[in-house]
Amino acid sequence: MAGTGKAHLRRSDSVVLSVEDLVVEYRLKGSGDRVHAVSGISLDVLAGETLGLVGESGCGKSTTARAVLGLPRPTSGSVRFDDVEVTTLSEREMRRFRPKAQMVFQDPIASLNPRRTVEDVVAEPSRIVASGTRAERREKVRTVLREVGLDPDVMGSRRARQLSGGQCQRLSIARALVLDPDVLICDEPVSALDVSVQAQVLNLLGDLSQKRRLSMLFISHDLAVVKNVSDRVIVMYLGKICETARPDPLYARPAHPYTAGLLGAIPVPDPGIDPRGRRTVQGEPPSPINPPSGCRFRTRCPFAQKICADEEPEIREIDDNHYVACHFPLTHAAAA
């Protein structure tokens, strides 16, 4: 599965975010071991496009998102926003760049300062970059709060502890939008919310994306959520990309055994369907400290052969805008 290559990257003037050969590694304290969190992935996002990034816990989704913003800076690789190479920027240059790309974190309450009021939380980014006068910043804050569905006259003086989880996430989105970014990175933005509130936040993000022509990198382990919000989907496993395509063909005809296993694990609300007959991923993921040779999924793949241990598969196109990194991709008939 997890393979190398850039065949899926698009050469277009409308690409606003381009990531090539991104590597993020961490050195463990007290030993010489390194955690290979992200191992040479490449992706791109067009203007107004939402790219979904999915995979099980520990595959490197959140690390990828943070590395794109330099939190922390990647070990190696290229991250470009509108032809600006972010990885080589100085701290001062990075501060000037940050308004172009903002992030919505997974835990909405933990990401908010409990001592600040709602208006102060949203106004803080504008104060940091010294954007506009004090009166202009206050008016912008009130406008953005209304845009995300929070009444500034009612909510403006409250603090995070006085808000529900959904309201806190709306506040986090408002804080990210107050600087008018071109790219919004959403790291599991609805995983901590109730299902009904999830739908409200997802609809809000969809409306904002269309209204502002906002590009989004949407990270989630929930495949149903990703399908509903994404224009394209990338499936990750143990720091590598295994498959990417538009949502409908990817979910209807997965070409990689790992993707098929993830889709097979989605609960189906039909008592007539026997879950034991569905393809699922067996076993535990290998350690990112010592990942398997060749294809990283081979230790859990029912179709693995010797070549899977000897050679790492490269991403290749098997259908229109459908790419997979696998020596033995599933046929469409078998996947169906």
Cis preceding linkage at 72, omega within 30: yes
CA distance 1 to 312: 8
User: Per the structure block, which two tokens stand in for 255?
Assistant: 């070409």
What is the residue-wise DSSP string for 6-51?
-TT----TTEEEEEEEEEEEEEPTTSS-EEEEEEEEEEEEETT-EE
Q: What is the pLDDT of residue 275?
A: 62
Q: What span, in angstroms and rounded, lies between the C-alpha atoms of 28 and 32?
A: 7
Per-residue pLDDT at 3 = 54
Q: What Å distances lie between residue 176 and 51, 99, 122, 245, CA to CA? A: 18, 9, 8, 28
Are 253 and 71 in contact by the 8 Å Cβ rule? The answer is no
How many helices and strands (H and E) does the chain possess? 12, 12
Exposed e or buried b per residue across 150-168, where buried means at least 16 C-beta atoms within 10 angstroms of its C-beta: bebeebbeeebeebebbbb
* pLDDT at residue 333, as a whole number: 40
CA distances from 190 to 22, 107, 222 (A): 26, 9, 10
CB 178 within 8 A of CB 211: no
Are 330 and 20 a contacting pair, CB within 8 Å? no
Q: What are phi and psi of 262, to 5 degrees?
A: -65, -45
Q: Which residue has the tokens 């097979």?
A: 264
The pTM of this model reads 0.90
241: nearest Cα among 68, 2, 18, 5 = 2
Pairing of strands 84-85, 76-81: antiparallel
In Å, how far are 52, 206, 215 from 211, measured between CA atoms?
19, 9, 11
Domains and CATH numbers, the chain: 1-82+183-194+214-266+277-291+313-330 (3.40.50.300)
**Distances from the Cα of 256 to the Cα of 156, 219, 275, 319, angstroms:** 48, 20, 20, 13
Question: For residue 51, what are the β-bridge partners?
Answer: 217, 232
Per-residue pLDDT of the chain (336 residues; tens, 9 = 90+): 455 688 899 888 889 999 999 999 998 887 778 999 999 999 999 999 999 999 888 889 999 999 999 888 899 999 999 888 999 999 888 888 888 999 998 887 888 888 999 999 999 988 888 777 888 888 999 999 999 999 999 998 999 889 988 899 999 999 999 999 999 999 988 887 788 888 888 888 988 888 888 999 999 888 888 988 999 999 999 999 999 999 999 999 999 999 998 888 777 776 777 666 666 778 888 889 999 999 999 999 988 999 999 999 999 999 999 999 999 998 644 444
Amino acid 33: pLDDT: 87
Q: List the structure tokens of 95.
A: 């501060």
Eight-class DSSP state of 287: P
- Report which DSSP code applies to 297: T
79 burial class (0-12, 13-18, 19+ CB within 10 angstroms)?
buried
Q: Which amino acid is at 301?
A: C
- Here the tokens at position 158 are 């409250």
Residue 335: what pLDDT?
Answer: 42
Instruction: Say which residues have a Cβ less than 8 Å from residue 329's Cβ, sequence separation at least 6.
Output: 255, 256, 318
Q: Half-sphere exposure of 326 toward its Cβ, with a 13 Å CA cutoff?
A: 28
Residue type at 114? Answer: P
Distance from C-alpha of 184 to C-alpha of 23, rounded to nearest angstrom: 21
